[in-house]
Chains A and B, each alone.
Chain A
Amino acid sequence: MNKVFIVGIGQTPVSESWDKSLKELAGDAGLMAIEDAGIGYPDGLFVGNMMAITANHQAQFGTLMADWLGFHHKPALAVETACSSGSSAFRMALMAIASGEMETALVIGAEKMTDSPGSEITASLATAADAELEADFGLSFVGLNALLMRRYMHEYGWKHEDFSDFSINAHANAAHNPNARFRNPITRDSFTRSPMISDPINLLDASPVSDGAAAIILSSRPIQNGRKPVSVVASASMTDTLSLQHREKAVHLKAAEASAKTAYAQAGLSPSDIGLFEYHDAFSIMSALSLEAAGFCAPGEGPRLAKEGKIKFNSDIPVATMGGLKARGHPVGATGVYQLVEATLQLQGLAGPTQVKRNRYAMTQNIGGSGSNIVTHILQSE
Chain B
Amino acid sequence: MEVPRIWRLKKQRYALQGEVCPHCQVKIFPPRDVCPECGGEAKTPFSFSGQGEVYSYTLISNAPAGFEEQAPYTVAMVKLNEGPLVTAQLTDLGDEPVRIGMPVEMVTRKIRNDGDERGMIVYGYKFRPVMAK
Binding site for B on A (CB under 8 A): 117-120, 122-123, 125-126, 132-140, 142-143, 146-148, 150-151, 154, 196-201, 241, 243-246, 250
Contact = CB atoms under 8 A, between A and B. Distances in A.
Contacts of B9: 132
B65 A143 contact: no
A134 B87 contact: yes
B62 A136 contact: no
A138 B70 contact: yes
Given A245-B77, A246-B36, A119 B100 contact: no
B51 interface: no
Interface residues of B, number: 32
A140 B100 contact: no
B64 A123 contact: yes
Contacts of B68: 119
A118 B63 CA distance: 9
B60 A143 contact: yes
Nearest to B79: A245
B56 A147 contact: yes
Interface string B109-131: 00110000000000010000000
A200 to B, nearest CB: 8
Given A139-B75, A140-B63, A150-B100, 11 more contacts: A119-B64, A137-B89, A138-B67, A138-B70, A138-B75, A147-B56, A147-B75, A154-B100, A198-B59, A245-B84, A245-B85
A198 B56 CA distance: 13
Contacts of B55: 151, 250
Contacts of A200: 58
Given A122-B62, A122-B65, A151-B56, A245 B87 contact: yes
A149 to B, nearest CB: 8
B100 A139 contact: no
B58 to A, nearest CB: 4
| Most A C-beta atoms less than 10 A away, residue of B68, B77, B87 | B87
B14 interface: no
A143 B111 contact: no
B124 to A, nearest CB: 7
14 contacts: A132-B30, A135-B64, A136-B124, A138-B60, A138-B64, A138-B67, A139-B87, A140-B60, A143-B60, A196-B59, A241-B36, A244-B77, A245-B85, A245-B87
Interface in B36-82: 36, 55-68, 70, 73, 75-77
Contacts of B107: none
Contacts of A250: 55-56, 77, 85
A201 B56 CA distance: 13
Given A151-B100, A243-B87, A245-B84, A139 B56 contact: no
B88 interface: yes
Contact of B86 (A120, A122, A150, A245): A245
Contacts of B63: 119, 122, 138, 140
Interface in B89-119: 89, 100, 111-112
Contacts of A199: 58-59
A24 B108 CA distance: 48
Contacts of A139: 60, 75, 87
B62 A140 contact: yes
Given A123-B66, A136-B111, A138-B60, A147 B89 contact: no
Nearest to A199: B59
| Most B C-beta atoms less than 10 A away, residue of A132, A137, A151, A243 | A137
| Most B C-beta atoms less than 10 A away, residue of A147, A241, A243 | A147
Contacts of B64: 119, 122-123, 125-126, 135, 138, 140
Question: Closest 8 A-B residue pairs measured CB to CB?
Answer: A146-B58, A123-B64, A245-B85, A138-B67, A151-B56, A123-B65, A119-B65, A147-B56
Contacts of B124: 136-137
Nearest to A251: B56
A148 B56 contact: yes
A138 to B, nearest CB: 4
B84 A197 contact: no
Given A119-B68, A138-B75, A198 B89 contact: no
Nearest to B9: A132
A246 B36 CA distance: 9
Contact of A246 (B60, B66, B85, B100): B85
Contact of A197 (B61, B76, B85): B61
